[in-house]
Amino acid sequence: MTQPATRAQVELGDTTVTFLPDGYGRVDPEAAFPLSANGGWATHGEFLDADGWLPVSVGSFLVRTPDQAVLVDLGLGVVDFEVPGMASFKAGALLDSLAAEGLRPADIDTVVFTHLHHDHVGWTSEVAPTPETLGRRPAQGLTFASARHLVSEAEWKHWSGTSSPIGPDPLAVQGPLEGRLELVSDGQEVAAGVKIMATPGHTPGHQSLVITDRRDGRRLIILGDVMHCQVQVAESEWGFVFDVDAEQAGETRERLLRELESGETILAAGHFTGHVFGRVLPPVARRAWAGGR
Ligand SMILES: [Zn+2]
């Protein structure tokens, strides 16, 4: 369980959802979840590696409907960097993961961003932002040049004019997207059976994607960063250190978890350790996560 997730696929009627790894990170678990400090991890050690760090997956979800190829989030890009004492990240495999599915960048019809943190926008252009190169490396164009690029209006506005090591780099991400973005909102259908669901808090314009099987109504939700680790299924009050509005993020997480306790909906959580697909089981004493499908 303490490995980053590998490529995995779930079928939902005539649509497939595939996790495409870009790379991985490892983070200091108490720094990542401030409310977990002072022993919170004592009963969740199975998610930590031998050094006591939390391994996190990084990648994209490919949604293939009968006539569309949609990529949800764009990983970190080709990077290898450390935030001393806090985290380290290594990535750059997204296009190889895509090729393993038989697709080239030109085959992607639509890119949807759940939000614009740096680990979700890395392949926007040919320049992969890192904290050291922030605002210093201009990009020529978009990696997925023929695709529509979709983000929520609140998200685009939140980062416009900013330059942050955890946000979208102005030259590598915001610049190339300018004039190419389409703004989307809660409830909007972006491909057949694929709808936007606003899930604000982690960032102001954060959104998830709900994919519904048109024949039997089964659902899969690509969560984005509503949760960063399986432990938050049980410890839903544990906010992530970079939640822009921790209270709203907590409300969104709790609301979704209550809705999902029936275990019928498949969840896709791109930072989870080991498996990115799973379901929420109803509380016996506490909620628990069922990995795999
Ligand atoms: Zn993230």
For ligand 1, the distance from its centroid to the CA atom of residue 271, given in whole angstroms, is 7
In whole angstroms, how large is the CA radius of gyration of the chain? 18
| CATH number assigned to the domain covering 8-291 | 3.60.15.10
| pLDDT band of 10, cuts 50, 70, 90 | very high
CA distances 166 to 53, 203, 244, Å, are 20, 11, 11
pLDDT: which is higher, 132 or 246:
246
Mean pLDDT over each residue of the chain, to the nearest integer? 94
Q: What is the pTM of this model?
A: 0.94
Ligand 1 center–CA 215 separation, angstroms: 32
Give the pLDDT of residue 133.
Answer: 87
Q: Cα(233) to centroid of ligand 1, in Å?
A: 17
Residue 60: how many CA atoms within 13 Å on its side-chain side? Answer: 32
CA of 193 to the centre of ligand 1 (A): 24
Domain boundaries, the chain: 8-291
* Residue 122 pLDDT > 90: yes
Question: At residue 203, what is the residue type?
Answer: T
Residue 107 reports pLDDT greater than 90: yes
Q: Give the per-residue pLDDT at 1.
A: 61
pLDDT for the residue numbered 40: 93
CA of 117 from ligand 1 middle (Å) equals 6
pLDDT for residue 214: 87
Inter-CA distances, 96 with 135, 230, 269, Å: 27, 27, 21
269 C-alpha to ligand 1 centroid (Å): 10
Calculate what percentage of the chain has a pLDDT beyond 90: 84
Cα separation, 71 vs 63, in Å, equals 6
Nearest 10 degrees: Cα torsion 53, 249, 238, 22: -20
- Supply 138's token pair: 């201009």
